[in-house]
Amino acid sequence: MTKLTDELVGHLQALGDTEMPNDVLSSLDALAEIDEKGTGSCYAGLLSARSSANLDITALTKTLEHTSLMLTVTIDAVTNGQGA
């Protein structure tokens, strides 16, 4: 997930004034920490129990919804030739 987050940040920077909000980055980092293999959201029982991350599921849900919207807007902008 960290590689995808870094790639998204790069795309957002290429678009100009668009930045990834800190709460989104923090939540994605926390999720990546407990989902080392990147498959925990797909298969039950794969999230790391030894993680020090404290996740607020309600806040994470809102953050992921925000991230999804950002991805949609970014993909639309890149697809339509905006940004670098």
pLDDT bin (cut points 50, 70, 90) of residue 51 is: low
Residue at 21 is within a domain: yes
Query: Looking at residue 84, what is its pLDDT?
Result: 46
Q: How far is CA 3 from CA 10, 54, 62, in A?
A: 11, 22, 22
Q: Closest by alpha carbon to 2, among 33, 40, 42?
A: 33
Question: Is residue 65 scored above 80 in pLDDT?
Answer: yes
Q: What is the pTM of this model?
A: 0.55
> Does residue 84 form part of some domain?
no
Give the CA distances from residue 24 to residues 44, 45, 49, 73, 78, in Å, rounded to whole numbers and listed in that order. 23, 24, 22, 15, 20
Instruction: Domain of residue 43: give its range.
Output: 2-79
Number of structural domains the chain divides into: 1
Task: Determine the average pLDDT of the residues in 3-25.
Answer: 79
Question: What is residue 1's predicted lDDT score, i.e. its pLDDT?
Answer: 75
Mean pLDDT along residues 18-47: 75
> Does residue 30 fall inside a structural domain?
yes
In a domain, 8, yes or no: yes
Taking every pair of C-alpha atoms in the chain, what is the biggest distance, in angstroms? 44
